[in-house]
Each structure stands twice: as C-alpha cells, then as structure tokens.
Structure 1
C-alpha cells in the first residue's frame, strides 16, 4: 500500500459531508443572556464549513502551518467552533487545556507542549504576557476579539477579517490515522496534568461510539455544556447549543439560562457533568420544571450520585435515561450504564460493592490486573484476574490514547504494549462481575495499605469504604486517607457533615461511624474519624475530592 493512500484522515471530513448534504441545517447556536432576556448567534453547517475554511487560510497567512502546535484559549463561542475546525483542516495541532487547573499547572503544560502559536481572547493574552506562558517557543500570537475576528499581535499586520462569499474551499490537509491531531491536557484534579496525544483514529472512534452506542442521529440538537463534547455535535450532524455559562465552573451555571436554551431549540440531547446534573435537578425540583424535548442525557467526568440522578430524572419523560459514562481524557468512552439499571445497584454500592459503571462499549476490552506500581512493558493474558477480584483497571480500544506528549516515564507507567497497540492503565481500581459489568472502587493512588511494625496489615479501597459511611443522614460525604502513627500506616476517615441535618450530638455520630466500621469486613480497622468543615474538591466536577490535601490536614489535626 502506498504512503499516499494512507493519508486520508481528518475529522473535518464529517463537517464537509454535513455542509454538502445538510447545508442549511443548524450546526451551532450560542446563547447570550442579559437577565432573563436571551439572544442567540447561529451558524448552519454550510456557514461553519465556509467560515472555518476562511480562518484556515487566515492562520496560514499568519505563518501558522501544518504540523505546528497552537494553544487555543477561547471561550465557547462561534469563534471557538470556527477556529477549532480551521486548525484541524489546516493540520495544525490544537493544544487544549482546562483553565480551571490553576496558573502553576497551566505554565507547566505550555512549557511541556512547546507551542508554536498562541490563539486566545484578550484576557488569555494578558495572562500569557504577565505569566510568561510559552515565551520560549511561541512565535505567532493571534488575538480573538469579542466579534470573533482574528488579529495578529506583536506588530504583525491585521489579518483579513470578513469571510467572503466567494472564498475558495480550503484544501483540507489529509493525514495518517495515527498522526497527532490534538494535545488534550488532563485536568490535574487527581495528579499532575499530562498532555494526552489524540490521533485522528481516536476522534473517529469517539464519533463512531456516539453514533452506535449512544444512538445520536443527524438533525438532533444538543445542549453543549462541555467544550470538547460540543465539537462532536457538528461532526455528528447534530447542532451544538451552547448556553451562557462558564464551562470551567459548571456548578455556578444559572439553571434558567440552560432551561431557556433547551426550550428555544427543543434540544433532544444533553451532556452534563455530575455537578451540573445535581444543580439542574435541584432547580427543577424547586420550580417543577420539565424538560419535555430531552430524550437522552449523557453524564461523564465523575460518578454521579444516585440521589442526584433520580432528582434530575423527575424533569424527564418516563423512560428517558441518564447514560452514565466511564472513561478518562486518555480513553473515553469506555463503558456506560443506563440510570434505570444503575438504580438497581444501590444496595450493592451502599454495602461496599463499588459503583457500577456498566458494560464495555462496542470495540472496548476491559481487564483487571494485580495492583502494582511497577512498569509493565508487555501484555500477557495471564495478567488478568478472575471475576469479582479487585485490581487495576486496564482498557484497550480504538479510542484509547497511545502516549503522553513529551512524558516518556508517564507513558511507560500507564501503557502496556499489546502487539501493535497500547493498553491503558486507568489509574482506577475495580472489578468485573460474572455478567461482565465493571464496578469502580476508586483511584489506585487513594487506596490505604495499613501497616503495623513495617508489615502489611490490610488494604482499604476508597469508594467501598466511604459509601457505607455515606449512608448516615448526618454525612454529606467522606474521604478515606492514610496517616502515620508511630511509623504505622493507619486508615482515617474524614467526614463532611450534611448541613441540613442536625449533627449536634457528636458522641452519637462517632458511635454510629464506629458501628458501621465494625459491621463490614472491608471497613474493620477504621477507628479514627475527623470532621472537616468543607472538603477541597475540583472546580469542574465538584465531586473529585483532593484527598492528598485532606491527608496532610488529617495528619496535622490528629497530632493536635
């Protein structure tokens, strides 16, 4: 097979196809809210295709060419869609970061990625100059104004700004399916942010999964609350309806804005993280709001609580499912479970069986191996543990990333070579039951291996332990951590109280906690409890507890 025949990958082919066959169909609508008054900017598939062609030409005129890497820091907007598709069309590698990861992590990400260009809104450029982001490598700076127009900075000439009706089609760059298409940095909420290399093959696999496993069809309209997922809309022939909200802080979103956008466009699909799911559910409960057009809800990012899913589901028609997806930036989606099935697992979860995250989607293979910190270079089927044994979750599939960018040691630690592809070690622990359902038991790094006089005593897993304590009405959430007492590693449970429940009797609470610990074999030995005023959690999901910070706090507090 010739080399030229292999160069046929570019996810923008889906946009090109939609522009040809559904030219006047809505592709993007961006909401602007002023109080309770709303306006919307819209693009059809034809307009999105033409305008992103024009921007691809602009980027080339500014000196940004195929193979270069470009940081993209633009809020969800018409310009965001145009620019992202323009970058892909031109074979320029976008570097996408979560602004909520913090200034220190952002600087590290840019230092590792070595971008050639920085494309952002004015606020992003101010931060770039003040904080020195990418100063060693960035040679092209493009400002994205409030009107979505591009302007080259640092004394360069202003770029052509108005798309012309006669603009010729951009000659879309075709690449090999395994070539780097984008660099997406992990959030850093459970460790140091790492740049995940996305190939065109990965994007194609994700698009295929959304079509086949989630049943998304051409002509649907999606309430897009997460920037990356919103890009899949146009690739699926589905309109992305972007509400007026800070996508990096969904917990602060105004539910009325989202409800208004859903009603205006009769959205059939929603992508929401657990924090937003809970916020919208609570708002709907207060106003008895109904989402009459929604027929599918996809939740991902962290495990949503069953109570919040049930509350949210009260707004939906009977039979409409909340699809809970499991995965990570390195591999998404991996498995899914419908809310109706999830509700049947409550008793198992509440007694320490972990959280059920469903069956593997089509084309994905899930395996459980012994927990180890060692590098595993080559895969062997003998590594696989039998059903119902807790171990490290390892996945294989076309949407699984093959490497981290410029992080050889991280790649070695997280990847296992299996013939010509890599399996990914999720960093989570769990087990497969006899029916092939995957049960999540927490992060590998969050397990507590208790010791006594230097000898291993017992292993505790975060989710199975915490969930049994969370059944107490006084407990909002809990977090298992390890502390050191006389050179022994000891489990300790941090507890955040439920403010809506009277918790004045601390002795009764501690007795209840101790009674639960003695009731289950997997929690026996947890004898120390500390009340924390408010757990440190990640901004985006409001669910990922920073246990590392709690462990430091608990160690100091216990000594006091």
Structure 2
C-alpha cells in the first residue's frame, strides 16, 4: 500500500529547494497614481508559510478544519493559503462579488471552523452573522489599529509560536481527499461549493505544464486569485496587478501594462471582459506586449472581434488560448486564436462557438437533453457527431461532488464504473456541464449555450446559434434569446442591445431587417418578436454572462401582442 503523497505545497517546496532566490510573487499597489511593488522569493514564501502553519496549529487550528479565507490579493494571501494547505486545513474560497445574500448562504452550507479575513470582512461577518453557528477561531489580516479592534478577531501576526526546529511537517494526503471548497460565482445559478481534491489540483497543474506549455522561470500577470496560486506551484512568478479581481472591467489598463513591462511577463490569464478592455486601451496608444508569449482566456466565450483587437498588441506568433470549462471541471478543452479565427463564418451562421479539442486525459461526450437524474453512465447515451445535446465530461480535473448539496450532486454527476477496476483511476465520475453543444467529425467541441437557456416552443431554439446570427447586424451590440408566454404557449423572443449612438427611432426598419435574418436560417425561423433593451444585466466578473432569466421577466412584462 502506497503512502499518501498529495499536497499542492510539494511544488512550492521543490521550487524553494531548486530556485530559492527566484521571484515567486510580486504585488502591485497603486496610491495617487504612483505604483509600488512588494516581492517575495520562493524560499521566503516557503519559510513564511511554514511559520504561519505552526502558528495556526498553536492557536488550535488543526488538519481537517475548514477555514473561510477572505483576504485581498497580497503576499499575505499567498503565505496564508499555502500555510493552510501545509497544515491540512481546508480553505473555503468565495467570490465577494456574489452578493451578501449568497455569501451568507455559502457560510451556512460550508460550516467553517475558522474565519480568516481583512478587517472589512470581519466587520461584515459580525454585522451579518456569517458563520455564527460554526466558527470557533477568528483571525484578522492587515488593517489599521482601529480596524483590527473593530474586526473583533486576533491578528495573525500576533499569534505566538512555540520554538520548533526545522521545517513544518507538511500534511501528505490521498489524492481523493478534500483539499479545498471553491464556491461557484452564482452567475448562472445558485452558488454551490465545489469539492476540490488534491488529485484535481495535481491534474490542473499537469495540464498547465503539458497542454499549455508553462515552464519554471516564467512570469504571469495573475488577474484571478485562484489561478495566481498555480504560479508558485509551477515554478512561475505570479505578478498581481492593482485591480479588483471580482470586477475586472474596472481595472486600469495602465497599471497592468506597467506590471507586464516591469517584470517582462510571458504569460497572462485574463477573462473576456478584461481582454476587451485591454485591447481597446492598447489600440488607443498603439501599445505592444513584446514579452508576452501566451495569453489564456477563460470564464466565458470571448468575442472574435475582442480577441483580434487584443492580438494587435502581441507578436504575430503569440496565441490567445481560449479555454472551456467551469469551476467543477477546468480546463476541458482549448482553442488557439489562429484556429478560432477560421471558425468565424461558421459561428456567424449559427453553428455555435468552437471551443477546441479536449485536453489530454479528458473525454467529452454529448447526451440527450434531459432534466432527469442519470445514476450510471452507459456509452449508449452518447449522440452522434453533429447532434446537439448536453455536454458531459470526464477527466482527472473533474470534481466528484458539491459540498453538502446531495440533490445538486445527483443532478450533475454520473457514476462511471468503467475504470472501477483501475485502482489508480481518478475518472470514476462524469460531470454534466449544464451547457449544450456538439462534437464535429474532427472531435472538436462546439458550444451552443446553457441548457437552461434553450427555448422549447414549436421547435427547440438554442441561445448561442440564434444570437450569433442576429449579432451580425451592424447596429446590434449583443442579443439574448428568452422565452415568454403568449396565449398560454411558450414563444421565443429576442432581446436586443444596440451599439452606442444607435437611437430607437430606427426600430421599425431594424425589426424588419431582423425578421429577414430570422427567415434566412432554419434554426432561427419562428423568431419574430423583438424588444430593444437599453443595457443588458450581466455578471460583474465577466461582463459577458447575460442574466437571461431577468431579461425574460422584463420581456414578459413589456410584450404586448
């Protein structure tokens, strides 16, 4: 029987041994338009996280406990997170942008033993009662003396530590043991706690090495806190810019460009909203990102126009790698920008968005669309190439369950006993992505939208294939297919957001042109109701995920036959 050996901090330990003085993390701070940077190398990050792990234990925080971590991107964030992993404490990572109501629900479900946060988070905790029924240990990070006092928590830098010789004895666990709980953003439904195993983290690290080609010594502009943790685990420095990671659209492009230039970043992780914002800024100043050799975009489909705009800053051989996946399973497939550009016509004709071939070790299947629970996988469930259905994935980075959400787990997971005899297999569960799409004859995956966003009327309409056809109209910024009820029957309706400067006085002619577009394609025939909306409601992180549920309610109130 093999001994437990899994812990993401093994990779930090390796970097601290082999490249101790190399930069591990740099955090940019902006004050009065002046930029400063705080740095830490791999050896110091390793030693400081050892020290904090000891202090956590001395305070009574032990392996197996769950700890909410609400700390802004900083050196402290990295030190604390790696200390928690080393001590076998399970971090609970939530997105502050999900809203107060959802945050409270997350804490009630996860039942954390420990609350670690900045003073602002602690004050909110005390006022709103977050984790009141379960938290026994409170730790404060940073802030002024008054803020620390108001937080009602012990400051982490004041924790005593017994005199202990040598490095911290890192907790080594089984690959299938829980490593962290990551809550989904809630942008496409109720936030759920995804159980991350140590094996999932290892699989993601391997994918970044092998499929994305990341090597030790690189420097990454890390605009998303979770991805930034993979930097030190890959021997890559994480450069954290001064921005609100929960609202990338508000980032100052000059700050990000300055960080890239200072550290000669070779890698960037950006979501579609930030990709577009940086591309627009770069076009205005003719800025070039000469050090960047790889751009990873994930979180939502980026538009081809925004990718082309951003790519003007890159050297011709550099790709924007568009990644498909979800919190429950990431990455699943990848599509280089050069190949994506070749699919523009197909996308505009309503074929969906091509998200590329599966990465190594991932199996993608398409099944009939159903709301029924599927307990056991069978190959007979799969549809043929070109048939649109629900996307189901299998691989070592696929989560096996949600935390304390049995009904959600049953709805999203399918047991696959095909590998049951292989004791080393991590692929015993398939995940239903909640997206619809199809596989082409070359094995590439095409995404056609969320399963919940389809409209079943006289025939079935899928969001992305329909919307992308109408989005080719020069006056339309974006559109959203929704369902309304007309005379007791479900009917499709297209909400339209116009580009800036387009006035509604042209709506009569616009509606006629949209009707002509609808009649041109078989999959859009039957859409003959249109409403102009001034500004679509979208999620704050990606600024791309349209809240179609809200638009549907609005459209129902607006529509009059």
Task: Give matches, 1:263-342, under 5 Å.
Answer: 263-342=261-340
**CA contact 1:62–1:159 (8 Å) conserved in 2:** no
Task: Give matches, 1:145-294, under 5 Å.
Answer: 145-146=142-143, 160=158, 168-294=166-292
Residue 64 of structure 2 corresponds to 67
Residue 141 of structure 2 corresponds to 144
Residue 459 of structure 1 corresponds to 460
Tell me, in whole angstroms, the C-alpha distance in 2 between the residues paired with 1:376 and 1:156: 47
Residue 551 of structure 1 corresponds to 552
Tell me, in whole angstroms, the C-alpha distance in 2 between the residues paired with 1:30 and 1:357: 32
Tell me, in whole angstroms, the C-alpha distance in 2 between the residues paired with 1:163 and 1:137: 25
Residue 454 of structure 1 corresponds to none
- Which of 434, 442, 445 aligns to 1:438? It is 445
Tell me, in whole angstroms, the C-alpha distance in 1 between the residues paired with 2:199 and 2:435: 24
TM-score normalized by structure 1?
A: 0.96
Residue 341 of structure 2 corresponds to 343
Give the direction of change, closer, same or farther, for the CA distance of 1:133–1:171 in structure 2 (3 Å limit): same
Alpha-carbon shift at residue 155 of structure 1 (Å):
7.4
**CA contact 2:54–2:161 (8 Å) conserved in 1:** no
Residue 424 of structure 2 corresponds to none
Alpha-carbon shift at residue 38 of structure 1 (Å):
1.5
Q: Structure 1, unaligned stretches of length 5 or more?
A: 451-456
Please state whether the residue corresponding to 1:368 is helix, strand or coil.
Answer: strand
Alpha-carbon shift at residue 500 of structure 1 (Å):
3.9
**CA contact 1:58–1:159 (8 Å) conserved in 2:** no
Alpha-carbon shift at residue 6 of structure 1 (Å):
3.6
Alpha-carbon shift at residue 34 of structure 1 (Å):
2.4
Tell me, in whole angstroms, the C-alpha distance in 2 between the residues paired with 1:389 and 1:165: 65
Tell me, in whole angstroms, the C-alpha distance in 2 between the residues paired with 1:493 and 1:124: 41
Tell me, in whole angstroms, the C-alpha distance in 2 between the residues paired with 1:155 and 1:236: 34
Residue 37 of structure 2 corresponds to 40
**CA contact 1:367–1:394 (8 Å) conserved in 2:** yes
Residue 423 of structure 2 corresponds to none
Please state whether the residue corresponding to 2:539 is helix, strand or coil.
Answer: coil
The root-mean-square deviation of aligned C-alpha atoms, in Å, is 1.9
Residue 513 of structure 1 corresponds to 514
TM-score normalized by structure 2?
A: 0.96
**CA contact 1:183–1:196 (8 Å) conserved in 2:** yes
Map Cα deviations across residues 506-560 of structure 1 (whole Å, 9 max, x no partner). 1110011100111100000001000001000000000000000000000011149
**CA contact 2:538–2:546 (8 Å) conserved in 1:** yes
- Which of 81, 93, 116 aligns to 1:84? It is 81
Aligned length, in residue pairs: 550
- Which of 418, 436, 442 aligns to 1:429? It is 436
Task: Give matches, 1:15-30, under 5 Å.
Answer: 15-30=12-27
Map Cα deviations across residues 379-400 of structure 1 (whole Å, 9 max, x no partner). 0000010100000000000000
Tell me, in whole angstroms, the C-alpha distance in 2 between the residues paired with 1:339 and 1:166: 52
Residue 382 of structure 2 corresponds to 384
**CA contact 2:28–2:38 (8 Å) conserved in 1:** yes
**CA contact 2:110–2:403 (8 Å) conserved in 1:** yes
Q: Structure 2, unaligned stretches of length 5 or more?
A: 421-427
- The answer to whether 1:118 aligns with 2:115 is yes
**CA contact 2:482–2:493 (8 Å) conserved in 1:** yes
Alpha-carbon shift at residue 8 of structure 1 (Å):
1.2
Moved more, 417-426 or 502-511: 502-511
Please state whether the residue corresponding to 1:505 is helix, strand or coil.
Answer: helix
Give the direction of change, closer, same or farther, for the CA distance of 1:194–1:155 in structure 2 (3 Å limit): closer
**CA contact 2:139–2:154 (8 Å) conserved in 1:** no
Alpha-carbon shift at residue 25 of structure 1 (Å):
0.5
**CA contact 1:221–1:241 (8 Å) conserved in 2:** yes
Alpha-carbon shift at residue 157 of structure 1 (Å):
8.6
Tell me, in whole angstroms, the C-alpha distance in 2 between the residues paired with 1:100 and 1:334: 25
Tell me, in whole angstroms, the C-alpha distance in 2 between the residues paired with 1:100 and 1:533: 23
